[in-house]
Amino acid sequence: MNKTQHPSNNAVLGAPKGWDQNELPCGALPITRTVCDGVAAVVSYWTPTAEELAALNAGRPVALWVVGSTMPPVALTVDA
């Protein structure tokens, strides 16, 4: 997946404090800070590569990876 600029983007996230760029590079991520049902939320937009799109069209699942030992509340949607 490729991070994608979106018209709603209003901030950019950098690597977390103390992140080791030599071990695992972490670039800037354009985001939209918003509120959903009264709860602060952050949205980033992604577009699949041609290979990923072919895999999705073939029925392959989307995998959401989160750094850490638990899964925070998240949502995966398609921007329509």
Q: Facing residues of 3 across strands?
A: 46
Rounded Cα distance, 14 and 57, in Å: 32
Quick one: pLDDT band at residue 80, thresholds 50, 70, 90? confident
Q: How is the chain split into domains, by residue range?
A: 2-47
**Whole-structure pTM value:** 0.84
Rounded Cα distance, 53 and 3, in Å: 15
Terminal CA-to-CA distance of the chain, rounded, Å? 17
Contact between 26 and 15 (Cβ < 8 Å): yes
pLDDT given for residue 58 in this prediction: 99
Q: How do residues 6-60 score in pLDDT, each as one tens digit?
A: 999 999 999 999 999 999 999 999 999 999 999 999 999 999 999 999 999 999 9
pLDDT given for residue 61 in this prediction: 98
Which of 73, 55, 29 lies closest to 64, judged by CA? 73
Residue 50 DSSP SS3: helix
